[in-house]
Amino acid sequence: MSAHIGVTGLAVMGANLARNLARNGFTVALHNRSVGKTDTLLEKHGHEGDFVRTESLEELVNSLEKPRRVLIMVKAGKPVDSVIEQLEPLLEAGDIIIDAGNSHYEDTRRREAALAKKDLHFVGVGVSGGEEGALNGPSIMPGGSKESYEALGPLLEKISAKVDGEPCCAWVGTDGAGHFVKMVHNGIEYADMQVIGEAFDLLRSGAGIEPAEQSKIFTEWNKGELSSFLIEISAEVLGHVDAKTGKPFVDVVVDAAGQKGTGRWTVISALELGSPVSGIAESVFARALSSQADQRKLGQELLAGEEAAVEIPETFVEDVRQALYASKLVSYAQGLDMLTSAAKEYNWDLKLDEIASLWRAGCIIRAELLKDITKAYAADEKPANLLFAPAFTKAIADALPAWRRVVATAVQLGIPVPVFSSSLAYYDGLRRKRVAAALIQGQRDLFGAHTYGRVDAEGTFHTLWGEDKSEIEAVDTH
Ligand code: NAP
């Protein structure tokens, strides 16, 4: 029996993707470096569909129909290169290697270019949704050549999450585009989680609302415009009671957030692209600061708070909800704007409506909001920024008074809200007619003759600061 697809790397993610493929009627050839994982999968789940057991990559490749599709789901980094190296001599022109792990998009670009020279397709696929998604329907963001998608797309679409019967899987762009889009998805996820965390801290430390009560508030919020997987699970976590102590679960968890690196990758890439993803960056830094246990301990002893006595208004819970919504919108706007910058840099034809639609189900940031974002970018006139789409311009304007009140209150109470406040600063930075950059240009021209533009004339200018301070036209030295 020829298998439709081979999966190598059968730890939790690879095993679940293989089972998802088999449950959807595809014959799946299985391989793992150590054969134990293959046998465990077959023992526990062999009845779920048609599997072909193989013990070597050669056997795996020989069991596949052509063009061969080999999905790699091994540890990201060097192991992926090692598996590709072993597969390459076993494959023929037109065959497809798929990397569905969390690889860096630059690695994917490198691997794609190298394999294209050998007439092999290499497809970097962003997969979101964790273990559960991999098994029951993830959000899938494939890159690679359009041609390879013809042979691969139908399988991936079949196993992906669905919204009203539509698959949350579509070809997003060439070479590393799939992994790039997945990376930015994770960046938005960091910001989305942080804004929810900031809302929790404000309600707890500002208004004294206990976790159990907050769980009910979050459940209510989940019925409206904030409706999303992350709000839903936050309600569940907040309502959970620690069996050992009887305390709210969140009170017994160490407040040091971990990270596996995709948020950091997003920010590094944004810095290189000059893309202002301040909310995502603040959320990565907030996790880093939370984990500086020693310094935080000293900070608690040494640093003054000087918090003001602030009266918490009756509208506080609703104000926080609106501030959360506005900050979340900014995080999405920044992430999508980063995709626009990357599309220019890497020559990708990224369709933001399609990308937003891929995130509507299956992935961690799935949210009602994504339906409206999809609509905004599907319009004939694409907004230059999500916040300029009429529906969102209005939504954020409606939330603005509450957003300002909440940030001001947080500052007075000494409660850090880095994403609430940086998102508001981004919003004001976009909106204001004049920003502080004029003085910065003056400083740069004075210390480094970096030149400046004038509001009333074309061209580039330099002031002779060390001489008579007269102005000359200058060659732009940026
Ligand atoms: P993992 O722990 O990252 O990797 C373990 C697998 O890699 C095992 O099958 C292991 O084989 C294999 N492996 C490691 N080094 C190898 C090498 N040099 N040559 C061949 N095989 C090698 O597995 P995972 O947690 O299932 O994750 C797989 C991928 O999915 C990773 O890229 C991970 O970052 C990503 N991931 C994605 C999500 C998501 O939501 N999309 C969630 C979690 C993980 P042995 O059994 O022989 O050791």
Give the distance (Å) from ligand 1 centre to CA of residue 74. Answer: 3
Predicted confidence at residue 170, as pLDDT, reads 97
- Which residue has tokens 């022109």? 93
Question: Does the annotation count 220 as an active-site position?
Answer: no
* Count of CA atoms in the C-beta half-sphere (13 A) of 49: 20
The separation between the first and the last C-alpha atoms of the chain, rounded to the nearest angstrom, is 63
**Residue type at 114?**
A
Q: How confident is the model at residue 286 (pLDDT cuts 50, 70, 90)?
A: very high
444 marked as binding residue: yes
Q: Mean pLDDT across the stretch 411-417?
A: 97
Give the distance (Å) from ligand 1 centre to CA of residue 451. Answer: 51
Predicted confidence at residue 423, as pLDDT, reads 98
Residue 61: CB within 6 Å of ligand 1? no
User: Exposed/middle/buried for 432, CB within 10 Å: 0-12, 13-18, 19+?
Assistant: exposed
Whether the predicted pLDDT of 202 surpasses 60: yes
Q: How confident is the model at residue 307 (pLDDT cuts 50, 70, 90)?
A: confident
Whether the predicted pLDDT of 182 surpasses 60: yes
Cis ω for the linkage preceding 67 (within 30 of 0):
yes
113-160 pLDDT per residue, tens = 999 999 999 999 999 999 999 999 999 999 999 999 999 999 999 999
Predicted confidence at residue 476, as pLDDT, reads 57
Whether the predicted pLDDT of 416 surpasses 60: yes
Mean pLDDT, the chain, whole residue set: 97
Predicted confidence at residue 359, as pLDDT, reads 97
163-176 pLDDT per residue, tens = 999 999 999 999 99
Which residue has its alpha carbon closest to ligand 1 atom 46? 34
32 marked as binding residue: yes
**Whether 219 contacts 235, CB under 8 Å:** yes
Atom of ligand 1 nearest to the CA of 34: 47
47 marked as binding residue: no
Predicted confidence at residue 475, as pLDDT, reads 74
239 marked as binding residue: no
Domains of the chain: 5-171 (3.40.50.720), 182-431 (1.10.1040.10), 436-473 (1.20.5.320)
Whether the predicted pLDDT of 67 surpasses 60: yes
Q: How confident is the model at residue 306 (pLDDT cuts 50, 70, 90)?
A: confident
Whether the predicted pLDDT of 478 surpasses 60: no
Residue 76: CB within 6 Å of ligand 1? yes
- Chain centroid to Cα 438, Å, comes to 33
Whether the predicted pLDDT of 420 surpasses 70: yes
Residue 102: CB within 6 Å of ligand 1? yes
State percent of the chain over pLDDT 70.
99
The three-state DSSP-derived secondary structure of 7-74 is: EECCCHHHHHHHHHHHHCCCCEEEECCCHHHHHHHHHHHHHHCCEEECCCHHHHHHCECCCCEEEECC
Question: Does the annotation count 189 as an active-site position?
Answer: yes
Q: How confident is the model at residue 467 (pLDDT cuts 50, 70, 90)?
A: very high
Which residue has its alpha carbon closest to ligand 1 atom 2? 75
Among 26-40, 306-320, 391-405, where is mean pLDDT lowest? Answer: 306-320
Q: How confident is the model at residue 1 (pLDDT cuts 50, 70, 90)?
A: low
- Pocket residue to mutate for ligand 1, from 40, 57, 75, most atoms within 8 A of Cβ: 75
